[in-house]
Structure formats: structure tokens, C-alpha cells
Structure 1
């Protein structure tokens, strides 16, 4: 279901398939194209008309190079979503085969950001803020997260494009780890929940921006956030909130910098957000820890 504003704004739909919603623009003519109409180019995607124009202007050597590019560039399928699930599944298999050593190697805990505050028992390993997204506390935790990623990624990745989707997932995961470091610095954490909640937060903001009916997304997000506060489930609600909040910010950046001419601004804003998150992790966390000990 969609709102009247969404229906009236034809820029929210593919120019060749008026019933298909999309958030991806042709990098040549800036028309909106759905997943079936996107052709991967060396930079971004282009629409069928621009592709036809390119082919007419190509030399025989360029046509051969173009055919080679198409064989390696893939399709409009949510490849990034499948790749993330595949990598996480490999790590999950290693957890089953090797046991706790995988958890200890990849999990995130605040002392890995501030080893000097803990008597030198920890080394400086900030990358754990992202590697913790690859390990889970059990099969159920893993399956639920991967199911959510598969369900959301199939719709959101074609809407954003692979690069934006991966950036959203990683920055959201970083936001979840930073929230854990600030709100509960004495607890270690694992799981992809931060990145997944970032996808939901971004989907909520982008849907609101293009005039879609976001009630269903809002209800699902609210339910999942509420579940995190059930103590018996031992869920890191801090990572959920952090991921959702950062995802909403990333979604706002995407929504406000959609034009090709705004690509540089979009990248700079994403970098600035990442820097702010890292600054919070390294500057605010010591203050929180000193107040606790």
C-alpha cells in the first residue's frame, strides 16, 4: 500500500515499469530504473536507452570489452546480500568446527578499544567492532539474523545499489558496536543485529522520504526493538538501538543526496558520520568507564 504522495511522485518508480518502486538512478540520464532495467556499468548503473546509445557509438573493440565486462559484473540480483550471508555462514561453520576460539578472535568488547585502562591485558583491536557481526551466540541467533538480512536485502539492495547497501550495513554495524561501548562497556557482544537494524532504520527513513506507507516497517522495527528489552532473552538491545539510529541517519543521507551531482557530498557525509562514530568510541567511552570504576 502506498500513500497519495507516493503515487503522485512518478520519480519514485521505474520509467519503464510505472508499477515498480526504485531508488536507483541511471548514471547517464538520471531516470529512475528498477532492478530489471539496471545494467551494471563500470561506474554505477545505466538504463536500457543509455545502453543502446552506448552500443551504437562503440567500436568493435569496445563491444568485445563490453561483453567481457558483462560476464564479470553480475546482474541486478542482491549479490551483496548473498555475499554477506555466505561469509557469515562460513564463519558460523567455523564456530561449529573450532569452538570458542572463533568467538574470542572476532567478538567485540570495549577493552579492545582502550587497552591501557585494563592493565595491558588487552591489545588494541578496533576492527572487532565490525568482525563481531560475523559471529553469533548460537544457531538460532544466526538463523534469525540471516533470515532478516535475506528478507530485507532482497528489497533494499536493488533499491539502493550494491555499494550503498554494503556501506549502510557496515556503518550500521559500527553504530551498534559504538552503542554497546557507550551504554554497556563491560559486556562483550556478537551478532549482525546492528547492521540488520540499520537496514530497517534506513528503510523506514527512505520509505518516508519517497512517500511510501511505512506503518508496517515501523511496527516491525518497534516490535524487534521491544523484544531486545526482555531480560531472559539476553539480547544486546544497545546494539539494536545504535544500529537503527545510525541506519536512519544513513538513509537520510541517501535520500537527500540522490542526484548524481551530489555523489561527492554523499560520500563525504558518510565518511563524516563514520568519523563521528569512531570519535564517540574513543573519546566518550573512557569517560563512561571512569564513571563506573
Structure 2
């Protein structure tokens, strides 16, 4: 692998959490490849969760408006496409939902951000989250009775994309991926233990993260010597277009269209 993908040996050099709040530390962390984007996502999700809690108790109508306009639903993905992204920063008011997701993000995010670069990592995160929404849409086309009217919120679709990316990278460098497979397997089993988990988004994000990272690390031979940023622009665009096409095809059976 070339350019930014040569930084695998630095995976465990994580910056401390103080980089999330200290401007000087943030600048230093940015220059050294620290988890600035990861930290920003964590802060954004935590702030939104606190806002949800406050609104739920002080302004229930405003809380319902935020949730109803922010969650992603297969039937509304084409009508309100912003939901695909706003849903990644909303969580259930149950503290375990946001806490578990942020812990999972912190466990893999800094590794990938150092390896790929800040903006490329951010693109992977958002595209994987988009893949999670498409996973819900594919399931709606397969199971239209209930699928079109389901909704989801949370960062887990995007995080599962990061899981898939780490798995690809570990395998590429010859690292032992068994611990990662166990961790991923346990996360995939959670919907069978805890009800209300959108496993379809997990699958969609996971597949998207794997596909994009495979292209970045292998892809067209001629492009392997280009920068990670260039490859992300090219392959990220291919994945996004593919996800849009899949969404359009699935929405042929959308009862609201």
C-alpha cells in the first residue's frame, strides 16, 4: 500500500481525550494525524444527545420535531435525503445507546484516521453511514410490509463501516484478524439479544466499508501509486453513485412515491 496507508505501524499511538477540548492540542493532533475527526464526531453526538435529553423533559414537542425530522426511514430517504446524515448524530435517550456507539467509535476511529488521513477517514465514515441507510432500504424492498415504515437513528451504521475497513486493513498487512472478527460477530449478534436494533443498517454500513476499503487498497493498478485522497475521490464517488442507484431501484416499490 502507498502514501497514507503506510502508517499502520502507528495504529496504537492514540492521542489522549484532552485533544477534544484544548485548541492547541487539537492543532497539534491534526498535524500529527491524531483523532481530530473522530473526536469531533464524538463531541457532536454527545452534544446532540444532551440536547435531546433537555428537550424531552423541557420541550417534548420540540424533541419530537427533532427526532421525527432527523431519523432515517426507507420510505422518506428520497423525499428527505438529509435524514441519511442527520440520523448519524442522533441517538435514543437511553444512555447505553450513545455510550456504546461512542466507545466503539473510539476503539477503531483513531486507528483509521491516522492511517488514511483526516478528510479521507471522514469520507469513509459518512459514506459508510449512507450505506447503512441503503441497507434499510434494501430490506424494505425485500420485506415491504414493515420495512418501508421502519426508522433508525444512531452512528452504528457508519461505525460498522469502520469495522469493515479495519478488517480489510488487518488482513492486508497480515495481522491476526480473529479478535476483530470476534468483536464484529458479537456486535452482529446484539440484535438477537436486544430488540429494536436496526441490524439492516449494520449490514449495509459493514458491506460499504469493506467495499470502499478494498478499492482503496487494491483497486485499479494504475491508481495504486496515487494519493489516498485521490483514490478516495474516485472510489468514494463510485460507491456513492452505486448506493444512489440501489436506492432508486429499491424505491420503485416505495408506497409513498
- TM-score, normalised relative to structure 2: 0.78
**Counterpart residue number, 2:144:** none
**Counterpart residue number, 2:53:** 96
Tell me which structure has the larger Cα radius of gyration. Answer: 1
| Alignment partners' CA distance in 2, 1:281 and 1:260 | 30
1:163-204 CA-partner distances (Å, limit 9, x unpaired): 221111111100001111221322011110100000000110
Q: Is the 8 A contact 1:179 1:242 kept in 2?
A: yes
| Alignment partners' CA distance in 2, 1:71 and 1:81 | 15
Alpha-carbon deviation of 1:258? 5.0
**Counterpart residue number, 1:125:** 80
- Counterpart secondary structure, 1:228: helix
| Alignment partners' CA distance in 1, 2:168 and 2:191 | 21
| Alignment partners' CA distance in 1, 2:44 and 2:240 | 23
1:14-47 CA-partner distances (Å, limit 9, x unpaired): 9xxxxxxx8346xxxxxx884799xxxxxxxxxx
Match of 1:145 among 101, 104, 120: 101
Match runs of 1:26-175 below 5 Å: 34=10, 74-99=31-56, 100-114=64-78, 124-137=79-92, 138-175=94-131
Aligned residues: 224
Q: Which has the higher contact order (CA 8 A, sep 6+)?
A: 2
- Counterpart secondary structure, 2:192: coil
Q: Is the 8 A contact 2:104 2:159 kept in 1?
A: yes
Alpha-carbon deviation of 1:102? 2.1
Alpha-carbon deviation of 1:208? 0.8
Alpha-carbon deviation of 1:249? 0.7
1:23 matches 2:13 = no
Q: Say if 1:255 and 1:139 are closer, same or farther in 2 by CA, change over 3 A.
A: same
Q: Which runs of 5+ in 2 are unaligned?
A: 14-26, 57-63, 140-146
**Counterpart residue number, 1:182:** 138
- TM-score, normalised relative to structure 1: 0.69
Q: Is the 8 A contact 1:78 1:158 kept in 2?
A: yes
Match runs of 1:203-282 below 5 Å: 203-230=166-193, 232-256=194-218, 259-260=225-226, 264-282=230-248
Q: Say if 1:136 and 1:262 are closer, same or farther in 2 by CA, change over 3 A.
A: closer
After TM superposition, the structure 1 stretch with the greater mean CA deviation from structure 2, 203-212 or 72-81, is 72-81
Task: Tell me how large the CA RMSD over aligned residues is.
Answer: 2.8
Segments ≥4 residues shifted beyond 3 Å: 32-37, 70-75, 261-266
- Counterpart secondary structure, 1:108: coil
After TM superposition, the structure 1 stretch with the greater mean CA deviation from structure 2, 103-112 or 193-202, is 103-112
1:199 matches 2:181 = no
Higher helix share: 2
1:114-153 CA-partner distances (Å, limit 9, x unpaired): 5xxxxxxxxx211111110111112210110011111111
Q: Say if 1:24 and 1:102 are closer, same or farther in 2 by CA, change over 3 A.
A: farther
